[in-house]
Structure 1
Amino acid sequence: MPHSDASSLLDAACAMLWTPTALTARQAMKGASGRKPCSLLIRGGIVIPAPDDVDSLIEDGAVCALGDRIVAVGSFGQLLREYAPELVCGSDKHLVIPGLVNAHDHVRAPSTRQLGVHDDVLEAWIVDLLRLPRVDPRIASTLACCRLLRSGVTTVVNSFYEGSGERYENILADTVAGCERSGVRTLMSLSVLDQGIVAELLGNVLPHLPESMRNCVREILNARDPIATSDYFDIVRNWRAASPSGRTLFMMGPVSVHWCSDGLLQAIWEQARALDLPIQTHLLESPYQRDRASTRYGRSVIQYMSEAGLLSSRLSCVHCVHVTQADIELLAGAGVSVIHCASSNQRLNNGTAPVSRMLKTGVNVGLGLDSLTINDDDDMFEEMRQVARVSAGGERRLVRVRTGAALQMATVNGARALGMMNDIGTLEVGKKADIITVKLSEDPALEHGQFPGSDIGVGIGSDTGTGIDSVSLDRIVNRARKSDVDTVVVDGEIVVDDGRNRHIDEQALLDELHEALARETRRRSQNDATIAGLKSYVHALLERRSQTASMT
């Protein structure tokens, strides 16, 4: 058999086989052909390099990586002729897209619902979090990040907070270690506050409590000792300077503008500029926050932030449910990003953020799971569906986010919000090799995509028509599930293969976690019943505040 024929047969075989052995055989035959080196080639029947540019879609395409960077994107056949990969994965039965960006999370495992804290209005739910048992942060963060990776998330913002200043840095170290162990890319948003909501709420309900509950509440308040701001800034500087690896980065994180003094906000912004760090904060999440901010500033909190010089492209604001059109225009004009948490907003009764108006006005909107997905399963694809379906923000006619825009929010927009557009968000030469493969539907009835006219409604986004671009986007957003994610690559390394983490025995970690929780349950504080009983008083306080706000 001629050398070229044998070589072609090996190419065909290696296109189907994912094993290094098959590829080694081909390389031995063709290694002297002058092909360029490539550590990984990922094939897809459909490759979407740039979700914000549907024209970039490639049928039977591939992505080549050398080390942690992408070196080529193009047709599978051509790249196989030009490159000699050490490993091939994917197939013509896969979609290949950029790794997903979960731009806001709290990296919790188990979930709050699994630990007995059920959904409620935000402020009552936050008080109820006091009942959560302490979980080993290494185990919790490892498990949570493994779940996210299996959902196709390659980059996550971990909004980290520890209520005890004494334990803050130790818990941070363990959390970072857990995230790193999982293999995900993490931006640690190091949180701080000096006007905590728990102290405010409990202080306000204290006079209304029976004497039997007051001492317990006083003990809770006295035990809360948040990190001193000077210590916080030292930790930020030290950890930024000694980042454990390229997969762990840092942000500054005022927990919420509503829970920080004006002086602390200014100090955070000054340090962020000096250290060239992004900032993320919760903002206007609930009606209570909206009314409290209006009382505090005598105007929109976003107007206050604009006047105080706190709005810039360095900033991403999480939630922004209760914003006006004037607020949206200020955010767009300053280049501020919004992180939309659709499921969380529903579960905690916060309302619907006006995402369609934000996008139309020019605000960059990313996507965050907030550790509160609608089905409690950290499914990024289900979250995209929530975004596409629930986005009108109080508008009477149907104004929804199109599927293409939802995918952009989970990739390109998230990268932009974090200041990482040069590294992640799209599959482009020179960018980080953060790539996922998604199994295409095996149902023949679905392979032909939508019927003409099925994409109804007024849409905000880029995908239009019924060609292969809209069909592919529809497959991802409206049909894909977390279980369809096959391969997850971070920094050119296959972290998840066939839906399983290659480095972590998740079941063993779960068993260890269950044993620890059983011990913790036996030690649970006698205050638990009191904390649970506080919720009715918090609800009454919120109702009084709401009535007062409606009369002003």
Structure 2
Amino acid sequence: MTSTAAPLDLLLLPTWLVPVEPAGVVLKEHGLGIRDGRIAFIGPRAAALKLAANEVRELPGMLLSPGLINAHGHAAMSLFRGLADDLPLMTWLEKHIWPAEAKWVDEAFVRDGTDLAIAEQLKGGITCFSDMYFYPKVASDCVHNSGMRAQIAIPILDFPIPGASTPDEAIRQGVELFGDLKHHPRIKITFGPHAPYTVCDENLEKIRIIAEELDASIHMHVHETAFEVQQAVEKTGERPLARLGRLGLLGPRFQAVHMTQISEDDLALLVESNTSIIHCPESNLKLASGFCPVERLWQAGVNVAIGTDGAASNNDLDLLGETRTAAMLAKAVAGSATALDAHRALRMATLNGARAMGLESEIGSLEVGKAADIVAFDLSGLAQQPIYDPVSQLIYATGRDCVKHLWVAGKQLLDDRQLTRMDEQQLTATAIAWGQRISGHSE
């Protein structure tokens, strides 16, 4: 790149730059230049300093990486954080969460809960998240206003839900929202049939046909527990994943969330269809749902991304912490200390998430031409010393409080740990007010 080009909008000069693609690379004393919301330059510091730039930011002791991608969650459920802890999945859902949703969830709840989740995620280094919750148009508006990037999955169940009294109405709203936002630079609409046990074949067929017509993705909870699989086999003689395969839903645009139960036949189906898996280790641990065999999937060539799930079952939206848990758990499940090393764990939290959402040409790695979705982690603190491998320190020794700066499409949304577009005090006050209302009326 020559200096005759237009000046860079911003030149970042960190101690380490981890592009994620190519894999396993750490660039020391390199610069990254941003122009018009995209990465325009990556090269040695000396070459970077010769370029004209409107702003230069020195980032000593910091590691620059692609923004983290939270590939599964229910953003507005942040307002139910801690409401029904330490319960099994179906008790938690049927006796607590579904009744609370029926009572409290409306457009205001979704707006305030989604804003809270967006702010928490930005402060944790997340630049893009997948959301699957009611009133998806409201969530889209929140994302649009925040400057963040998101995949919004339209929730579809066989029974009435907040905002849609029938599955057909939910699908119709989804198609409309898809049309309205198909050219949005930061929002992607997908279809979100809830789970195999809440959506019948007829509705899954409708979703498949529409998703194919629109070239849209499908995001669904699948094989979350052994009980779910066992119940399906007892009722129909067929495992849920096999049923989805028979109905033609599996494929590169299908995102299977959880997948704690994987037989040899399931694995063959996943590989053959090129389906992505979204791994949510902490939610699965907390609800005792089981363990996704990440290393086995990875070695078979399956794309595995990572999600926090909702704050009602996690209880935070901390993708860096989630990735650390995933790396540790993968080793225990595989019985191998070499399973899911730190570099692959970071890839799972970035480029693999982008690939699952069909956004790998746009985000997920630091490459010239891609959108400037970038996070700066401060590794200068006491707890990160000494540094032999900065990626190992990031995954195994660093918390999300080390997230210092964050950019989405070149716009800085977090500056020295301060949100630039959102009022943290106001968000906190609103969340407290919701908590008081919900707890006061739940007696």
Deviation at 1:385, TM superposition (A): 0.9
Gaps of 5+ in 2: none
Deviation at 1:112, TM superposition (A): 3.0
Deviation at 1:259, TM superposition (A): 1.4
Match of 2:84 in 1: 117
Deviation at 1:395, TM superposition (A): 5.0
Aligned counterpart in structure 2 of residue 187 of structure 1, from 151, 175, 182:
151
Question: Contact between 1:294 and 1:300, CA under 8 Å: does it hold in 2?
Answer: yes
Distance of 2:245 and 2:109 partners within structure 1: 40
Residues 59/399 of structure 1: CA separation in 2 closer, same or farther (3 Å cut): closer
Query: Is the counterpart of residue 502 in structure 1 residue 441 in structure 2?
Result: no
Match of 2:93 in 1: 126
Match of 1:95 in 2: 63
State the AA in 1 paired with 2:54.
E
Distance of 2:243 and 2:314 partners within structure 1: 36
Distance of 2:162 and 2:151 partners within structure 1: 26
Deviations 1:474-510 (A, max 9, x none): 0111112111011110011001111111011111122
Residue 267 of structure 2: SS of its match in structure 1?
helix
Residues 486/444 of structure 1: CA separation in 2 closer, same or farther (3 Å cut): closer
Aligned residues: 435
Aligned counterpart in structure 2 of residue 173 of structure 1, from 137, 140, 144:
137
Distance of 1:484 and 1:350 partners within structure 2: 31
State the AA in 2 paired with 1:136.
F
Residue 15 of structure 2: SS of its match in structure 1?
strand
Distance of 2:92 and 2:49 partners within structure 1: 54
Aligned counterpart in structure 2 of residue 150 of structure 1, from 123, 132, 157:
123
Distance of 1:131 and 1:373 partners within structure 2: 11
| Greater Cα shift, 487-496 or 504-513 | 504-513
Residue 71 of structure 2: SS of its match in structure 1?
strand
Question: Contact between 2:125 and 2:403, CA under 8 Å: does it hold in 1?
Answer: yes
Distance of 1:40 and 1:75 partners within structure 2: 16
State the AA in 1 paired with 2:294.
V
Deviations 1:429-479 (A, max 9, x none): 111110111101333982242xxxxxxxxxxxxxxxxxxxxx122011111
Residues 126/497 of structure 1: CA separation in 2 closer, same or farther (3 Å cut): same
Match of 1:227 in 2: 165
State the AA in 1 paired with 2:323.
M
Residue 131 of structure 2: SS of its match in structure 1?
strand
Aligned counterpart in structure 2 of residue 137 of structure 1, from 73, 86, 110:
110
Deviations 1:141-185 (A, max 9, x none): 111111001111101000123xxxxxxxxx333322223333210
Deviation at 1:105, TM superposition (A): 0.7
**Structure 1 stretches of 4+ moved >6 Å:** none
Question: Contact between 2:208 and 2:248, CA under 8 Å: does it hold in 1?
Answer: no
Residues 159/444 of structure 1: CA separation in 2 closer, same or farther (3 Å cut): closer
Match of 1:9 in 2: none
Residue 120 of structure 1: SS of its match in structure 2?
coil
Residues 174/190 of structure 1: CA separation in 2 closer, same or farther (3 Å cut): same
Distance of 1:496 and 1:137 partners within structure 2: 23
Match of 2:286 in 1: 347
Distance of 1:518 and 1:142 partners within structure 2: 18
Distance of 2:221 and 2:314 partners within structure 1: 22
Distance of 2:395 and 2:130 partners within structure 1: 22
Distance of 1:225 and 1:393 partners within structure 2: 42
Deviation at 1:100, TM superposition (A): 0.7
Match of 1:54 in 2: 24
Residues 276/444 of structure 1: CA separation in 2 closer, same or farther (3 Å cut): closer
Gaps of 5+ in 1: 1-32, 162-170, 197-222, 450-470, 530-552
Distance of 1:509 and 1:444 partners within structure 2: 30
Residues 123/70 of structure 1: CA separation in 2 closer, same or farther (3 Å cut): same
State the AA in 2 paired with 1:177.
D
Distance of 2:333 and 2:374 partners within structure 1: 36
Match of 2:345 in 1: 406
Deviations 1:239-284 (A, max 9, x none): 1121284222200111112211111111101100101111110001
Residues 392/324 of structure 1: CA separation in 2 closer, same or farther (3 Å cut): farther
Residues 438/394 of structure 1: CA separation in 2 closer, same or farther (3 Å cut): closer
Deviation at 1:407, TM superposition (A): 0.7
Aligned counterpart in structure 1 of residue 261 of structure 2, from 310, 322, 328:
322
Match of 2:394 in 1: 476
Deviations 1:360-409 (A, max 9, x none): 11110000000249973322221111001112575556663211111111
Residues 141/239 of structure 1: CA separation in 2 closer, same or farther (3 Å cut): same
Question: Contact between 1:102 and 1:157, CA under 8 Å: does it hold in 2?
Answer: yes
| Greater Cα shift, 440-449 or 271-280 | 440-449
Match of 1:239 in 2: 177
Residue 76 of structure 2: SS of its match in structure 1?
coil
Residues 519/374 of structure 1: CA separation in 2 closer, same or farther (3 Å cut): closer
Aligned counterpart in structure 1 of residue 301 of structure 2, from 362, 374, 390:
362
Aligned counterpart in structure 2 of residue 447 of structure 1, from 386, 390, 405:
386
Distance of 1:184 and 1:131 partners within structure 2: 28
Deviations 1:179-234 (A, max 9, x none): 333321011001101169xxxxxxxxxxxxxxxxxxxxxxxxxx989532332232
Distance of 1:275 and 1:149 partners within structure 2: 30
Residue 208 of structure 2: SS of its match in structure 1?
helix
Question: Contact between 1:280 and 1:315, CA under 8 Å: does it hold in 2?
Answer: yes
Residues 444/363 of structure 1: CA separation in 2 closer, same or farther (3 Å cut): closer
State the AA in 2 paired with 1:320.
M
Query: Is the counterpart of residue 307 in structure 1 residue 246 in structure 2?
Result: yes
Distance of 1:439 and 1:342 partners within structure 2: 25
Match of 1:41 in 2: 11
Match of 2:410 in 1: 492
Aligned counterpart in structure 1 of residue 322 of structure 2, from 350, 366, 383:
383
Question: Contact between 2:251 and 2:275, CA under 8 Å: does it hold in 1?
Answer: yes
Deviation at 1:45, TM superposition (A): 0.7
Residue 391 of structure 1: SS of its match in structure 2?
helix
State the AA in 2 paired with 1:238.
E
Question: Contact between 2:21 and 2:366, CA under 8 Å: does it hold in 1?
Answer: no
Q: Which has the larger radius of gyration?
A: 1
Query: Is the counterpart of residue 253 in structure 1 residue 192 in structure 2?
Result: yes
Q: Give the CA RMSD over aligned residues.
A: 2.5
Match of 1:202 in 2: none
